[in-house]
Structure 1
Amino acid sequence: MNWQRGLSIILRLHINHAKRRNSPRLAVRTYTMESSKHPEVKRVLVTGASGYVATGIVNDLLNKGYLVRGTVRSLKNPGKVKPLKSMAEGKPGKLELVEADLMKPETWKSAVSGCSHVLHTASPFPFVQPKNAEEVIRPAVDGTISVLEACKQDGNIKRVVVTSSIAAVGMNHTTKPLNENDWSDPSHGGAEAEPYCISKLMAEKAAFEYVEKLSDKDKFEICTVLPGYVIGPTLTDQVSTSLDIIKRVMVGGDLMVPDVSFTFVDIRDVVDAHVQCMTSPKAPGERYLIVDKILGYSEVCKILSDEFYPQGYSIYTRIAPRFLISLMSLFDNTAKTMNIIWGVICEYDNTKLKTELGIKPRDTRKGVVDMAYSLIDNGYIEKKAQYKGRSSDKQ
């Protein structure tokens, strides 16, 4: 046996042994192999890393072997930091966390330093609209500009992916499906005049306008991802608006439900879209609607009731009278929001999602159920005595 063949056998035995032991050295090799697919991606900054969508993105990037830097407002907040650190353990990629705040422009210079790509997900998303719209609008718009300004000053950022929303395309009645060429018009009132919708519209427009005005030497690539209402499994037990709505249904928070509908999308599709936009040659300058199908609130309740009523959860499905919600909206902000979007049906065209990003949307009905299970399993919703878990888990 010649020495080359002997060395080859030894290396194969070493690699197989390392796989069985989950060796750290193998993790480094996996990172090198994965990153070689996109060598232009040196380090990815994910803003608002502890958020519902952001944790999914961070987890996916780590699984793919990327170097990831996540921002949180405070490294002293164990509720935000500990789940991220735990999630990173044993992954082929590496995670570091830094402090940065949307309302503190000076914190972003060091956050972007050493990164090549930025996924900007951080933005306020209140379920109950604030009395002062600026509480939502200013962090969204000013925070986005602060991140982009830091990218310009750094000079090494190749691409920024901004998380926008279907709210920036339109949320009122339409005669045809809206697409990426459409923009919300708050002057129409209704759902589009809500502070959150205005904040997403203004932040996305501000981002494109900012990059457009940059000189050639300062310019970097930008694209935006516009998800619908995001559902699907959560990786942590952190509070978020998206999770709170499903929790409210699961704990029987309302005896009757409003006649409202949402355009849903599975979080796993949203994560895939962000990562695809980070490297796709088609993405620069583009907007991508990330949506699946429209489900009524009562339909969501029915889906959850069918799955969880036998497991001890009482979920109400009866639709409330409109006059009752209108009356409640005079003194309840949640009811006010529901009253604004009552009966609103708005369709969106997801052709670009499928043709340019190659993503076939998952079944959002399954995503609703998956989300509820994850909330129970992560302790966000009480586990009832009759709870048996997913039937697939028992097989």
Structure 2
Amino acid sequence: MNTKKDVTPASGRGRVLVTGGTGLVGSHSVARLTKEGYPTRVTVREPGQEARVRAALRRAGVDPADRLEFAVADLGADAGWAEAMDGVGHVLHHASPFPTTPPRTEDDVVLPARDGALRVLSAARKAGVPRVVMTSSFAAVGYTAKPGNRYSEEDWTDPDTEGLPAYHRSKVLAERAAWDYVRDHGDIELAVVNPTGIFGPQLGDRPSASVGLVADMLTGRMPVVPVMYFGVVDVRDVVDLHLRAMLDPRAAGERFIAVGGPSVSLFGMARVLREHYPAAAGLLPAEEMTIQRVREAAKTEPALRAAAALGGRVPVISNEKARSVLGWEPRGIVETIVATADGLIRSGLTLPGTG
């Protein structure tokens, strides 16, 4: 059982603005912040989304009391951001478009990700916020092949990598634009967290793409999986790393990869689930597609493009920087995968013989 210490000094409990508060990472951020006593403001695209944030807090067993408020602001427009930043001491920028279906054009994903990051940084700078912590992705780090396939914060995905999906390209371009903005202006700090695949218990009412993979495996909707190795990290540890990057002076101007351990394949993840949930054994993936089949299928199936882009490589991903600089201690991968499945079961997913 992984236990987390409160990384929050009493002197650092200024108001925190959280973007993307209805998402997997954002909902856990809001729960952690309000539980630890931070006054927290959450941006929503429309007032009706406030109810989703409050429902997530109830699922987390957190009563925010008078520490939670909302501001209406959209990544695609300037309106509302000045008001959202008023009186804010910290910013956690989690929001970024993640299409559930292939976008009509790449710009449908790239532009809101890049321009939204710049809007948040600009508004924070004008409001005198000293630092923004931005959620990027390992997609911005390790989707271009290199000898040895070892990746650290020094690496960048080439946005022109052949076959790179639009979402992955958007993360590269948005993070690059954010660093350029900070370099050009010089009076605001940026720290970036680059998570690998984010799993763990979900608080929201809509499964994230990663959590949805586990749900699909457990319910028989993925009898075959592509060969694909990737890093795994628990959402609670992603939030912990954001808070450390928010508070530690050493985080300014730095990127931090969030990964819980060695890369795992989808088929390996299925083996973990089979061991811990034998009732679902007959529904879990029984076959792994070769990279040749993946590449061919990806020509007509957009969902396989990320696997094709990885090319069957096994990335070796370092979390040493987050550990040594910020004292971060992530959960193990098996614990995270099991927590993901347990969360789905608590939310109503029924396994064979248990319903």
* Cα 1:322–1:279 shift into 2, 3 Å: closer
Point out the structure with max Rg over C-alpha: 1
Alignment of 1:281-360 (within 5 A): 281-291=249-259, 292-310=261-279, 314-322=283-291, 324-360=293-329
Which residue of structure 2 aligns with residue 133 of structure 1? 106
* Cα 1:263–1:119 shift into 2, 3 Å: same
User: Does the 8 A contact of 1:105 with 1:147 survive in 2?
Assistant: no
| Partner SS, residue 213 of structure 1 | helix
Which residue of structure 2 aligns with residue 29 of structure 1? none
**2:164 is the alignment partner of 1:196:** no
Shift in Å, 1:91:
4.5
* Distance in 2 of aligned mates of 1:107 and 1:387: 48
* Distance in 2 of aligned mates of 1:314 and 1:329: 24
**2:43 is the alignment partner of 1:76:** no
Alignment of 1:262-273 (within 5 A): 262-273=230-241
User: Does the 8 A contact of 1:117 with 1:159 survive in 2?
Assistant: yes
User: Does the 8 A contact of 2:165 with 2:305 survive in 1?
Assistant: no
Which residue of structure 1 aligns with residue 344 of structure 2? 375
| Partner SS, residue 80 of structure 1 | helix
User: Does the 8 A contact of 1:169 with 1:184 survive in 2?
Assistant: yes
Deviations 1:313-339 (A, max 9, x none): 721231124554444333321134433
| Partner SS, residue 289 of structure 1 | strand
Deviations 1:348-367 (A, max 9, x none): 22111111111122111110
Q: Percent identity?
A: 32
Deviations 1:98-122 (A, max 9, x none): 2221101212111111111100000
Alignment of 1:19-58 (within 5 A): 37-58=9-30
Which residue of structure 1 aligns with residue 202 of structure 2? 234
* Distance in 1 of aligned mates of 2:7 and 2:38: 6
* Uncovered stretches (5+) of structure 2, i.e. residues with no partner: 1-5
* Distance in 2 of aligned mates of 1:35 and 1:345: 33
Alignment of 1:83-162 (within 5 A): 83-84=55-56, 86=58, 87=60, 89-91=62-64, 94-126=67-99, 128-155=101-128, 157-162=129-134
CA RMSD of aligned residues (A): 2.4
* Distance in 2 of aligned mates of 1:85 and 1:310: 31
* Uncovered stretches (5+) of structure 1, i.e. residues with no partner: 1-33, 389-395
* Distance in 2 of aligned mates of 1:337 and 1:273: 25
TM-score by length of 2: 0.90
Shift in Å, 1:312:
7.6
User: Does the 8 A contact of 2:194 with 2:257 survive in 1?
Assistant: yes
- The count of aligned residue pairs is 347
* Distance in 2 of aligned mates of 1:268 and 1:210: 29
| Partner SS, residue 224 of structure 1 | strand
* Distance in 1 of aligned mates of 2:305 and 2:297: 7
* Distance in 1 of aligned mates of 2:257 and 2:291: 31
* Cα 1:316–1:38 shift into 2, 3 Å: same
1:164 corresponds to which of 136, 154, 159: 136
User: Does the 8 A contact of 1:72 with 1:98 survive in 2?
Assistant: yes
* Cα 1:347–1:36 shift into 2, 3 Å: closer
* Distance in 1 of aligned mates of 2:116 and 2:167: 14
Shift in Å, 1:174:
2.8
